[in-house]
């Protein structure tokens, strides 16, 4: 509580303090003119009131608010702060003689109006701040005339794109015919086909984050029946967190693509576990690593150390986290450009930052590219992991979480086999001083290397959508689900586990592609052709999350399991421990694959 009450006013906010003081004094000046008083008669009271009002505004957090993005609740804070200031001023009447109550009342109201007015002007300028909008604007309909819809429209206005929004639909008939932020509620969701036809709607945004899945599915079905109308969905952020963060518009996710609801997780246990801890994330600039950093920020980790090799991706990560960090107190994040294979560099970073937990997300994961670059796959996915484990032990890391893949099970790809090697060496380092565990993912929607972004690009170009085989199946999960599993693994782990998420059944990739085409407003095989290209090197028709003979063991989370395994062959682990980068780089592709097979005995190279 004390941490929240007392805060440092940033230099950029000092202007508000000065402006507020001027407004209060001006309010008393106006009162003096109206009541024919000399300002000298009320100068002491004006000074006292100014100090007390500033104290009240400070105490109600007014000097932490970004006023160009302010909400009505923020303006209530101003009123509350003035109320505190007024009460303190009246209490000061015990020590000084105050002017007549009418003078005080008029001065107070005048001061409040001035303070509210200049803040409202700043807020309005924030709304009017626009970016260059495209000349051709899509006609957009928003499904949901509630708070989410209002927030979405406000964001469109702020970015100069509100002209494309023709209005709302909502199943609350009491809202039909009313205006929401200047846009009409045109009808209910049943009226969508008629509205689409009348206004030539090109996109429907579903802003119903609290609605049950069956209701969302019903609206999606109605929009899909309208033909060439794209669909976007405002996600139920509260399904992954106990409180909403910032509204964000997304494309199609797990629920819409495959009909499986996203996994829910409570945040209290995670927050308690991460409180005060320093957490290092490798591969922080990637899709998984950046989401880990974002959720660590949300779950109030004490300190976040983001490590990545790519300058551009780390720059983008910093921009994203800097913007996100404004919602949190004193976010402590350090960024390092470093290669996990550089033992000297990594050791210096870990000894300096002394993290409690390491999330190892850095990896090469493009299956087809690694098939022709097996040396680099071994160097990064295996030897890089070994380096991170060794320097983590030296730095006194308490917990190490290795992010793996379903392709590590009975691997046929170099990528999968080298991730299996990473699992081996990770579990071999589990001990009394450092607990280690692994987490296996399925296909992560939206991540780098996932098939879904490729489908999006192909559909945007008018096709064709390429599928390697009509019977190919995969597990699918969202990026937040994947990261939820990673962070929960750290909370649940006692050392030596392999964690997997219950993702239900596998889905045919072709079915997912056809669903995506329809959800984007097109008809497969009519608007967007589908072409079969044949199985590529390193691909399997069906992936697995555990090997034959292994068993799933329940955890306290009903959707998270560990795999009962017998560890890994000690001789195989020893081969990894003595493997040198020079040995790897001096071998050709076939020799490297034979080396991998000598360690991962169930690896079956393609062809």
Q: DSSP characters for 148-204?
A: HHHHHHHHHHHTT-GGGEEEEE-S-TTTTT-EETTEEEEE-GGGHHHHHHHHT--EE
Structural domain includes residue 516:
no
- Same domain membership, residue 282 and residue 219: no
In a domain, 511, yes or no: no
Q: At CB < 8 A and 24+ separation, what contacts does 466-469 make? A: 466/530, 466/531, 466/532, 466/533, 467/509, 467/510, 467/513, 467/530, 467/531, 467/532, 467/533, 468/509, 468/532, 468/533, 468/534, 468/535, 468/536, 468/539, 469/532, 469/534, 469/535, 469/541
Q: Which of 1-10, 77-86, 131-140, 320-329 has the highest mean pLDDT?
A: 77-86
Same domain, 118 and 148: no
What's the domain count of the chain? 3
Tally DSSP H helices, then E strands, for the chain: 23, 21
In this predicted model, which residue has the larger pLDDT, 188 or 453?
A: 188
Are 181 and 119 members of one domain? no
pLDDT in tens, 544-571: 666 666 677 888 877 788 888 766 778 8
- Rounding to the nearest 10 degrees, give the CA dihedral for residues 472, 475, 479, 481: 170
Inside any domain, residue 518: no
201 and 65, same structural domain?
A: no
Is 548 domain-assigned? no
Confidence band of 399 (pLDDT split at 50, 70, 90): very high
In a domain, 606, yes or no: no
pLDDT computed for residue 134 by the predictor: 37
50/20 Cα distance (integer angstroms): 8
Question: For all residues of the chain together, what is the average pLDDT?
Answer: 83
Do 599 and 569 touch, CB atoms closer than 8 A? no
pLDDT tens for 317-355 read: 998 888 777 666 667 899 999 999 999 999 999 999 999
| 543 contacts 406 by C-beta, under 8 angstroms | yes
Is 316 found in the same domain as 202? no
**Within this chain, do residues 322 and 419 fall inside the same structural domain, yes or no?**
yes
Q: Say how far apart CA 559 and CA 501 lie, in whole Å.
A: 6
Domain boundary residue among 128, 149, 169? 128
Share of the chain above pLDDT 90, in %: 36
Residue 262 lies in a domain: no
Q: Strand ranges (DSSP E) for 51-159?
A: 140-143
Asked whether residue 26 falls in the same domain as residue 57, the answer is: yes
Q: Which of 425, 423, 378, 431 is nearest to 546 (CA)?
A: 423
In percent, the amount of the chain with pLDDT more than 70 equals 85
| Residue 521 backbone zone (phi > 0: left; psi -120 to 50: alpha; other: beta) | left
14 inside domain: yes
| CATH classification of the domain holding 558 | 3.40.50.720
Contacts of 424 (CB under 8 A, 6+ apart): 568, 572, 573, 576, 599, 600
Contact status, residue 330 vs residue 300, Cβ threshold 8 Å: no
Mean pLDDT, to the nearest integer, of 115-132? 70
Out of 104, 128, 152, a domain closes at 128
Same domain, 39 and 62: yes
For residue 250, the model assigns a pLDDT of 42
Sign of the torsion angle spanned by Cα atoms 555, 558, 559, 563: positive
Residue 275 shares a structural domain with residue 417? yes
The range of the structural domain enclosing residue 207 comes to 140-234
Are 388 and 338 found together in one domain? yes
Q: Do 300 and 389 fall within a single domain? A: yes
Give the confidence band of 305 by pLDDT, cuts at 50, 70, 90: very high
* DSSP reduced 3-state for 65: coil
What CATH number did the domain enclosing 185 receive? 3.40.50.20
pLDDT for 444: 67
Give the highest mean pLDDT range of 197-206, 381-390, 576-585: 381-390
Other Cβ atoms less than 10 A from the Cβ of 381: the count is 27
Residue 104 lies in a domain: yes
Whole-angstrom Cα distance, residue 117 to residue 313? Answer: 42
Report the alpha-carbon angle 477-296-396, nearest 5. Answer: 110
**Among 101, 128, 155, residue at a domain's last position:** 128
Tens of pLDDT along 250-261? Answer: 445 545 554 555
Which neighbouring-strand residues pair with 169? 143, 187
One domain, residues 63 and 203? no
What local confidence, expressed as pLDDT, does residue 242 receive? Answer: 31
Pair 391, 343: CB distance under 8 Å: yes
């Amino acid at each position: 509580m004390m941490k929240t009450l007392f805060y440092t006013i940033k230099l950029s906010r000092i202007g508000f303090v000065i402006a507020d003081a001027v407004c209060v004094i001006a309010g008393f000046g106006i009162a003096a003119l109206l009541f024919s008083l000399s300002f000298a008669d009320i100068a002491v009271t004006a000074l006292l009131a100014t100090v007390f009002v500033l104290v009240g505004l400070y105490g109600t957090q007014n000097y932490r608010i970004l006023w160009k993005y302010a909400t009505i609740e923020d303006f209530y804070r101003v009123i509350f702060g003035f109320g505190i200031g007024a009460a303190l001023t009246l209490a000061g009447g015990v020590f000084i003689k105050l002017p007549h109550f009418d003078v005080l009342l008029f001065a107070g109201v005048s001061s409040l109006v001035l303070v509210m007015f200049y803040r409202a002007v700043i807020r309005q300028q924030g709304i009017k701040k626009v970016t260059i909008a495209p000349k051709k604007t899509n006609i957009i309909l928003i499904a949901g005339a509630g708070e989410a819809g209002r927030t979405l429209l406000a964001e469109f206005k702020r970015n100069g794109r509100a002209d494309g929004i023709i209005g709302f639909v909502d199943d609350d008939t009491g809202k039909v015919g009313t205006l929401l932020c200047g846009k009409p509620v045109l009808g209910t969701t049943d009226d969508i086909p008629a509205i689409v036809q009348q206004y030539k709607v090109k996109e429907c945004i579903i802003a119903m984050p609290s609605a049950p899945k069956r209701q969302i599915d019903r609206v999606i079905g109605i929009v899909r029946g309208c033909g060439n109308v794209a669909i976007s969905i405002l996600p139920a952020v509260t399904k992954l967190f106990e409180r909403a963060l910032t509204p964000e518009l997304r494309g199609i996710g797990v629920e819409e693509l495959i009909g499986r609801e996203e996994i829910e997780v409570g945040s209290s246990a995670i927050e308690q576990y991460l409180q005060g801890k320093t957490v290092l994330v490798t591969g922080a600039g990637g899709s998984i690593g950046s989401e880990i950093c974002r959720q660590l920020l949300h779950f109030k980790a004490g300190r976040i150390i983001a490590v990545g090799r790519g300058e551009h991706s780390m720059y983008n990560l910093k921009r994203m986290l800097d913007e996100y960090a404004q919602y949190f107190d004193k976010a402590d994040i350090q960024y390092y450009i470093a290669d996990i294979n550089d033992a000297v560099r990594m050791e210096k970073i870990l000894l300096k930052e002394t993290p409690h937990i390491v999330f190892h997300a850095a990896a090469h994961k493009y299956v087809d590219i690694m098939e022709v670059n097996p040396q680099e796959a071994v160097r990064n996915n295996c030897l890089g992991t070994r380096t991170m484990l060794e320097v983590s032990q030296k730095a006194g890391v308490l917990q190490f979480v290795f992010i793996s893949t379903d392709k590590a099970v009975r691997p046929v790809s170099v990528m999968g086999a080298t991730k299996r090697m990473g699992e081996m060496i990770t579990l071999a380092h589990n001990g009394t001083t450092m607990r280690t565990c692994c987490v296996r993912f399925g296909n992560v929607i939206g991540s780098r290397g996932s098939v879904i972004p490729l489908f999006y690009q192909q559909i945007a170009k008018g096709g064709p959508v390429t599928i390697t085989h009509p019977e190919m199946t995969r597990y699918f999960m969202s990026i937040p689900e994947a990261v939820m599993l990673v962070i929960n693994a750290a909370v649940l782990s006692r050392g030596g586990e392999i964690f997997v998420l219950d993702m239900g059944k596998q889905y045919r990739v072709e079915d997912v592609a056809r669903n995506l085409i329809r959800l984007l407003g097109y008809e497969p095989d009519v608007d967007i052709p589908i072409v079969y290209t044949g199985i590529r090197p390193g691909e399997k028709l069906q992936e697995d999350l555990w090997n034959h003979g292994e068993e799933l063991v329940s955890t306290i989370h009903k959707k998270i399991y560990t795999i009962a395994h017998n560890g890994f062959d000690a001789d195989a682990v020893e081969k990894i421990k003595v493997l040198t980068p020079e040995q790897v780089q001096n071998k050709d592709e076939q020799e490297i694959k034979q080396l991998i097979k000598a360690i991962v005995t169930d690896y079956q190279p393609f062809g």
